[in-house]
Structure formats: C-alpha cells, structure tokens
Amino acid sequence: MNLYVKNNRFWFELENLTRLFFPNEKINVHKEFSVYEPPYVFSELSDKITVSVRIADFYREMTSLLKSDDNSNELAVVTLLYKILSEYSGISQPWGLLTGVRPVKLLRKISGEIGTEAALDRFTSEFFVSKDKAELACMTEKNERKIIELSKPESFSLYVGIPFCPSRCSYCSFVMSSVERAQKLIEPYVDLLCEELRATAKAARDLGLRLESVYFGGGTPTTLSAEQLNKVLSTVNSEFDMTTCREFTVEAGRPDTVTDDKLISLKENNVERISINPQTVNDDVLRAIGRKHTAEQFYDAFNLARKHGFNNINTDLIAGLPSDTVQSFRNSLDSMLRLNAESITVHALCMKRASSLSLDGKILNREEALSAREMLGYAQSRLSAEKYIPYYLYRQTRMVGNLENVGWSKPGCESLYNVYVMDETHTILACGSGGVTKLRDSGSDFLKRVFNFKYPYEYIGRFDEILQRKSEIYDFYSHFYG
C-alpha cells in the first residue's frame, strides 16, 4: 500500500490508521512524488483538505474545509481517511480512528478540559470509538485515577529486568535470551545487575526520592536460580529505602520456572505479588506457540504459590492465539476464575514484526479478528459479573482485531506499577539490559528517557557506560527541581 502525503506532516497518523485496515501489508510513505501508483492513500492540504483512496476498482475522494490549526487539520485528515477505509472494508474499528497506545490517558486529558460526559461523547462521535470501548475506557480511568493520586512529586518506581527465558514464545519480540544459549552470561549479568542497583539506589537516596513500587520483569525473572534470585532481591531490599514501597511484584511468568526454593526466596525478600502466566490452558495451543509447559504444570505452579502464602497472584491470557477457539479461550478464562486469581490480565495477540509468528509469514485475517473480539467481549462480561475491575489498559500496533490489553483485578489487588508505567505518572528508574529509565517532571508532561543496552552481552561488555549514564538522573533533577 502506498501512502502519498502532500503539503502536510500527518504521515505518522495516516500510516498507523491505514495499517488498522491493512495489518499484513507494508505501508510505503511518499512525501515527494509526481505520480500515484495504486493501491494508494492520498492526502493533501491546499485551499481545502483532500483525501482519496484507490484500491483496484474502488475509488473514493472526500474533502473538508481547511482548519485554523494543525491539530484540527490532522483530525480532519484522519477522519476523512477513516470514513473512506470503513466504507471500502465494511469494518468499523472498535477504537475508531484512535491509534495511540494510551486511550485512557487521552480520555483523562479531555475529561479534564470539558468534563467526562462530553469527553465520552467526543470519543464516540468524533473519534468513532464504539460505545462499549468508550465505557471500558471510562471505567478504567476511574479506577486508575485512585492509584495515580497516590503518587507524589518525589515518587519513583523501580524496574529490574531479567532478560532470560526457558524458550522464546512464537509471538514474543522482547529482547531476551533462552537459558540454553545464554547460560554462561547469567552469573556475570547478575553480579553487574546488583552493582547497577546499588548505583541507582545511591542516586535515589542522594536526590531524596520516594520509592512507590518495585517490578521485576523480563524475560522471566524466575529463570534465575533461587540463589541468584535471592542475591538480586536482597540487594534491592538492602540498598533502597523500602519503608514507602507499596508493592513488590516479580513475574514468575513461565510455570516451568516456579519451584519451592524460588518461592521461598521471593517470600523471604518481601515479594507479595507475583504473576504466573498460562496464556491458555489448551495444551495444543501451548505447543503451537512454543511454550515448554503444560496446563497441568501451570495449575501445579499456581497451587504451589498458594501453599507458600501468596495471596496476590496475576495470571495472563492471550486472545487470538494460533489454533485457539472462542470456546477454548472461554475455558481458559473460566479456569482462572475457578482458581480465584486476584488479577487476570487479558491481552489481544500482537503480531510484532520481530516475532517468529510474523517472520514465518503468519497473517491476520478477518475471521480471527472477529473471534478475538468475541473472546474479549466474553472476558469483559464475565469478569465484570465476577466483580473484577479494569484498572489499566493499553494498545499496540498490529493487534488482532484492533483490540486492547486490559488488567482486571479484584478491588485492592491492582498492580500499582502497571498503572504508573502506562500512565507515565512518575519517574521509573530501570536497571538491567533493555531497561529504559523514564525521568518525569511532575510539573509538566516532559519525560526524559535514558536507555540501557538491549542485549545481555552488550550490558556486560559495556557496563561502565551504564554506570556513567546514571549522571543523567542527577542532571535531570538538578535542572527541574534544583
């Protein structure tokens, strides 16, 4: 698909919107051109706004009046394109013309300007968001706001990245290394990670920052041995002021990494919230996506965690997995409810370009999109009926059915970190390979990012540079807070 952009700078939104309707096609953006090669999307700002689409025998052109500012012109352009592509495809996107990651944050911003009812009306009438999704965003925003209000100007959260997994799942695009391939890197990685944690804790102390939450992600943190896990966890507990910490979460995402000694280590180090993620309890689907565990192993791991006293457990499910069915997904969700999991995070399959699914030529089709929408519809209905609340929501490009990921929990069991990082509420200090520190100015929307190296071998080989970048934390707080 060719995208021609003339006399405007709105190619990014136009490209993302076009991809909603053509998720399997490469979008070629042209800013300088003399001829149009179909199939194409064309946009132009002159004395009026013009958008046209030609695909095979289909041709449609729509125009509107030129607006007085860029934001209004951008909305007008994408509105015209959305109307044409909806007409061509016969598809009404559940989130309308919205393509951003954080629709709830957008709703909060607009609500602050014109009120909640008017903001919801704008979502449905101007952005073409379905009533169902608009109401979901509104419920999520209400629950999110209570958590956001706990944050103070000096607040921060700590992210600790463990980039190792037993194997790579077919839908995964995260930077991670399988244990088999990276075994020799794990021990030196753990040692350096602890050194980085000490340097980060010193910066937090020097600057008088207040720790709100700790989150171990990855990868799979419980890929580490119990001894290695204990070393990293105890470093956090000894180096950081934990007296203000409201939540300590560790992803034990792969059930085949959950053992007695690791759960004991987590408990002894004050971890109160963990994730054990089956994605599905259909063994055929688990094999299809490259998971190395069975549904029975998931149940065993969950029950073992209960035995060790964990009473805040999250489970992840994914709607739209290869070979999964609506009935199979319903069974997986119902199984999580029978386990009485405190949180159930429901994702829609995301076809990341670097995942093996995409590299192997998997494409998204309309039937799968409709099935995924039915799966998420069932999840929302069932979880709401069981008194779970949606407390955070985000979207990604190339999601099956143009859907969303939603964290559902029992009231009081929400993950604070998930809200803080998704809303960009306060500073996130990140340690480990692939970690991105996000320095947040509480007086504005300004966010400065400080990147660690992505790959474990880079992190180990260039660790001195990681420590040098800690000076940027001091510089940021000196500039904004004196």
pLDDT digits (tens, 9 = 90+) for 226-239: 999 999 999 999 99
**Distance of CA 286 to CAs 96, 217, 290, 350, Å?**
32, 21, 6, 16
pLDDT band per the 50, 70, 90 thresholds, residue 363 = low
Q: What is residue 24's predicted lDDT score, i.e. its pLDDT?
A: 83
**Does residue 352 surpass a pLDDT of 90?**
no
* Tokens read off for 293: 């565990």
Neighbouring-strand partners of residue 438: 428, 449
pLDDT band per the 50, 70, 90 thresholds, residue 174 = low
Q: Please give the single-letter amino acid code of residue 327.
A: Q
Which phi and psi angles does 201 have, rounded to 5°? -65, -40
pLDDT tens, residue by residue, 58-71: 999 999 999 999 99
pLDDT tens, residue by residue, 402-455: 999 999 999 999 999 999 999 999 999 999 999 999 999 988 889 999 999 999
Euclidean distance between CA atoms 192 and 464, whole angstroms: 10
Euclidean distance between CA atoms 303 and 290, whole angstroms: 23
Q: What is residue 299's predicted lDDT score, i.e. its pLDDT?
A: 98
**Contacts of residue 44, Cβ cutoff 8 Å, sequence gap at least 6:** 6, 7, 8, 50, 51
Euclidean distance between CA atoms 164 and 228, whole angstroms: 13
Does residue 403 contact residue 376 with C-beta atoms inside 8 Å? yes
Neighbouring-strand partners of residue 161: 217
pLDDT band per the 50, 70, 90 thresholds, residue 179 = low
pLDDT tens, residue by residue, 29-79: 999 999 999 999 999 999 999 999 999 999 999 999 999 999 999 999 999
Q: How many CB atoms within 10 Å of residue 431?
A: 25
Average pLDDT rounded to a whole number, residues 353-364: 56
Euclidean distance between CA atoms 263 and 305, whole angstroms: 7
Q: What is residue 367's predicted lDDT score, i.e. its pLDDT?
A: 85
Neighbouring-strand partners of residue 482: none
pLDDT band per the 50, 70, 90 thresholds, residue 365 = confident
Q: What is residue 170's predicted lDDT score, i.e. its pLDDT?
A: 54
Average pLDDT, the chain: 93
Euclidean distance between CA atoms 160 and 465, whole angstroms: 18
Q: What is residue 452's predicted lDDT score, i.e. its pLDDT?
A: 97
Q: What does DSSP say about strands 2-6 and 28-30: parallel, antiparallel, or unpaired?
A: parallel
pLDDT tens, residue by residue, 232-278: 999 999 999 999 999 999 999 899 999 999 999 999 999 999 999 99
Does residue 128 contact residue 121 with C-beta atoms inside 8 Å? no
Residue carrying structure tokens 């089709």: 365
Q: What is residue 364's predicted lDDT score, i.e. its pLDDT?
A: 66
* Tokens read off for 194: 């602890």
pLDDT band per the 50, 70, 90 thresholds, residue 289 = confident
Average pLDDT rounded to a whole number, residues 1-17: 96
What is the radius of gyration, based on Cα positions, of the chain? 23
pLDDT tens, residue by residue, 197-228: 999 999 999 999 999 999 999 889 999 999 99
Average pLDDT rounded to a whole number, residues 165-186: 67
Taking every pair of C-alpha atoms in the chain, what is the biggest distance, in angstroms? 70
Average pLDDT rounded to a whole number, residues 337-345: 98
Does residue 124 contact residue 162 with C-beta atoms inside 8 Å? no
Euclidean distance between CA atoms 194 and 463, whole angstroms: 12
Which phi and psi angles does 354 have, rounded to 5°? -90, 0
pLDDT tens, residue by residue, 104-156: 999 999 999 999 999 999 999 999 999 999 999 999 999 999 999 999 999 99
Euclidean distance between CA atoms 396 and 86, whole angstroms: 20
pLDDT tens, residue by residue, 375-409: 999 999 999 999 999 999 999 988 888 999 999 99
Q: What is residue 398's predicted lDDT score, i.e. its pLDDT?
A: 84
pLDDT band per the 50, 70, 90 thresholds, residue 177 = low
Euclidean distance between CA atoms 283 and 286, whole angstroms: 5
**Contacts of residue 307, Cβ cutoff 8 Å, sequence gap at least 6:** none
